[in-house]
């Protein structure tokens, strides 16, 4: 009884909490990111900006124009056309439109791609000044976004 | 009693929230007040309504999977698990043991992450500024594991129908074990900060009492039900994903007030760590995904699967008409059902207690409005 009373008077419970606060004065885990100066390293499997991969040896697009990514997309935001190459008798991708403003980066298009052409990369800076800039065409898909690098 | 003739009214109607349409929790509570005392409340919901159940009718079963993450975005993995289990029941496929064990680990990690976010913001609502920083620090560790595993931190899209899409990355077990070792002392730290703190106790004890009988009447589940003394946890009552193999306790309390709900959730975090430790010890080898046809056409019929999400019972009811798209998907979200009890809990309380009670119900408005 007296013990409890003294604990109340001397604010023991509040000091117990303060002890935790002071124990954390030199924190071991710090997650603050100095963002524009230091870019965070995202995980290897990060699902970011989409990219159409090119064959590293020939520079030709890996895409075979099968349209599977467009069918897999829940938002139907991929629109592509393909033409038949008269010489090789194979289908090749002609135009490719990817609306990143509606994309939720679920990765289903990447999983549907049979030739590893479409890939969600580790680029995460997708902001643009216009709404139309969010719709990426084939050239943009192959080159990837070019975010501004600031000197800090 | 105020003078009834003064301005001809004794009741003040006050709108509480939403402050801005794009804030995270857009809930409008119309309070009827007599001075500081709450005479009644009226919840206006629907600000975040996106028609998820309707969207499902225009998507294939595989395509709808990423959308469920966006309902309870704090516990996306639990949502994904519930949906996948429901579709698996519909097509009569069971995930292989390896997938089941990994599913348990990830959902329990997500339960801890959800409770940490609840603890931080709830304490912030009451006025304790410190815990939110510590909670988000530990939550960051969990989100890092998620990012390494499936490439996204919040809306993970971690599970697929039939199992897992991604293999475990190298060092997953070590990271999870390191997290468990790091996390248990931190729970003690939060308790040290809050449990005996006189302001915390006075703001929470005997506030928003919901008895076991009332919980059952409202259909309230999860930690709110368990704090009222009902030992009901779907992981024990209807085990899924092999939960019957793990040794853990269901924490319960007797009073059913806000303070008890806090204690129940703190204990749940410890029990989750216990489950994760057992699961990560024996991840069986084998395939990560069962054989599922590329084009999913479940037979005509219906399936209901409910799981224990961090906030309560999360159920998915799917009706199939034999085509590639579900005929109807109905979600039984824990937050929506638990929110009903708000009026009963704050009637007769003071206006400051409304904030505490909304916090303790642990609602996510994305799930309430769907």
B353 within some domain: no
Mean pLDDT across B197-204: 87
Position A86 scores a pLDDT of: 78
Chain A residues with beta carbon closer than 8 angstroms to that of B130 = 17, 20-21
Respond yes or no on whether ipTM tops 0.90.
no
B5 within some domain: no
Closest-CA residue of A relative to B325 is A74
Position B276 scores a pLDDT of: 92
B223 within some domain: yes
Position B236 scores a pLDDT of: 87
- The reply to whether residue A47 touches residue B151, judged by beta carbons under 8 angstroms, is yes
Distance of CA A23 to the CA centre of its chain: 37
Residue B163: φ, ψ to 5°: 155, -130
* B200 and B126 Cβ atoms separated by less than 8 Å: yes
Q: Where are the domains of chain A?
A: 50-143
- CATH number of the domain residue B264 falls in: 1.10.645.10
**B7 secondary structure, DSSP code:** G
Max mean pLDDT range (B27-36, B37-46, B261-270): B261-270
Show Cβ contacts of residue A151 under 8 Å, excluding neighbours closer than 6 positions.
none
Mean pLDDT across A43-57: 86
Tokens 């430790």, located at residue:
B277
B160 within some domain: yes
Nearest Cα neighbor of B72 from B61, B81, B60 is: B81
Position A54 scores a pLDDT of: 84
B94 within some domain: yes
* B308 and B234 Cβ atoms separated by less than 8 Å: yes
Q: Please name the member of A21, A29, A45 whose beta carbon is closest to the beta carbon of B150.
A: A45
Whether the per-residue pLDDT at B69 is higher than 80: the answer is yes
Mean pLDDT across B80-108: 90
Domain coverage including residue B243: 50-338
Pick the CATH number of A50-143 from 2.40.50.180, 1.10.3720.10, 3.30.70.3270, 3.40.720.10: 3.30.70.3270
- The reply to whether residue A43 touches residue B151, judged by beta carbons under 8 angstroms, is yes
Q: What is the pLDDT of residues A91-117, one digit of tens each?
A: 878 888 889 888 989 889 888 888 888
Chain B CB within 8 Å of residue A22 CB: no
| N-term to C-term CA, chain B | 42
Give the total number of structural domains in chain B. Answer: 1
Q: Looking at per-residue confidence, does A31 or A139 come out higher?
A: A139
d(Cα B342, Cα A112) in Å, to the nearest integer? 45
Confidence of residue A33 (pLDDT cuts 50, 70, 90): confident
Q: Please name the member of B66, B130, B144 whose beta carbon is closest to the beta carbon of A21.
A: B130
Confidence of residue A15 (pLDDT cuts 50, 70, 90): confident
Chain B CB within 8 Å of residue A20 CB: yes
Upstream peptide bond of A83 is cis (omega within 30 degrees of 0): no
Residues above pLDDT 90, as percent of chain B = 23
Whether the per-residue pLDDT at B47 is higher than 70: the answer is yes
What average pLDDT does the structure give for chain A?
Answer: 84
């Amino acid at each position: 009884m007296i013990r409890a009373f003294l604990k109340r008077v001397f604010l023991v419970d509040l000091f117990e909490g303060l002890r935790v606060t002071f124990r954390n004065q030199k924190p071991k885990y710090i997650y603050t990111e100095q963002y524009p100066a230091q870019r965070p390293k995202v995980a290897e499997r990060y699902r970011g900006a989409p990219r159409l991969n090119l064959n590293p040896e020939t520079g030709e697009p890996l895409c075979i124009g099968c349209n599977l990514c467009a069918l897999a997309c829940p938002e139907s935001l991929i629109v592509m056309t393909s033409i038949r190459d008269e010489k090789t008798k194979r289908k090749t991708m002609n135009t490719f439109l990817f609306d990143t403003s509606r994309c939720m980066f679920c990765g289903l298009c990447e999983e549907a791609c049979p030739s590893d052409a479409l890939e969600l990369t580790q680029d995460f800076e997708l902001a643009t000044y216009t709404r139309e800039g969010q719709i990426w065409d084939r050239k943009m898909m192959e080159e990837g976004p070019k975010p501004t690098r600031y000197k800090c | 009693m105020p003078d009834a003739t003064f301005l001809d009214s004794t009741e003040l109607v006050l709108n509480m929230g939403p402050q801005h349409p794009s804030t995270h929790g857009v809930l409008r509570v119309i309070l009827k007040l007599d001075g500081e005392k709450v005479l009644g409340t009226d919840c206006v919901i629907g600000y975040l309504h996106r028609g998820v159940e309707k969207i499902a009718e225009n998507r294939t079963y595989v395509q709808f999977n990423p959308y469920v993450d966006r309902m309870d975005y704090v516990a996306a993995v639990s949502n994904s698990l519930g949906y996948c289990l429901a579709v698996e029941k519909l097509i009569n496929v069971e995930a292989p043991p390896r997938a089941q064990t990994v599913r348990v680990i990830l959902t329990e990690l997500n339960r801890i992450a959800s409770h940490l976010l609840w603890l931080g913001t709830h304490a912030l609502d009451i006025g304790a500024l410190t815990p939110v920083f510590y909670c988000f620090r530990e939550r960051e560790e969990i989100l890092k594991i998620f990012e390494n595993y499936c490439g996204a931190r919040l809306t993970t899209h971690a599970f697929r129908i039939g199992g897992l899409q991604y293999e475990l990355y190298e060092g997953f077990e070590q990271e999870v074990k390191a997290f468990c070792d790091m996390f248990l002392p931190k729970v003690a730290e939060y308790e040290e900060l809050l449990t005996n703190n006189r302001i915390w106790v006075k703001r929470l004890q005997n506030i928003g009492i919901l008895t076991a009988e009332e919980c059952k009447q409202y259909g309230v589940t999860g930690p709110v039900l368990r704090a009222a003394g009902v030992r009901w946890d779907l992981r024990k009552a209807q085990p899924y994903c092999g939960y019957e193999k793990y040794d853990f306790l269901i924490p319960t309390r007797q009073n059913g007030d806000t303070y008890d709900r806090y204690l129940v959730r703190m204990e749940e975090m410890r029990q989750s760590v216990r489950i994760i430790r057992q699961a990560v010890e024996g991840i069986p080898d084998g395939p990560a995904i069962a054989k599922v046809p590329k084009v999913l056409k479940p037979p005509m019929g219906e399936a209901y699967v409910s799981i224990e999400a961090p906030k309560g019972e999360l159920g998915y009811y799917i009706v199939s008409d034999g085509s590639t798209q579900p005929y109807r998907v109905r979600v039984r979200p824990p937050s929506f059902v638990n929110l009903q009890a708000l009026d009963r809990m704050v009637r007769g309380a003071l206006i400051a207690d409304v904030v505490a009670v909304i916090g303790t119900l642990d609602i996510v408005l994305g799930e309430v409005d769907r």
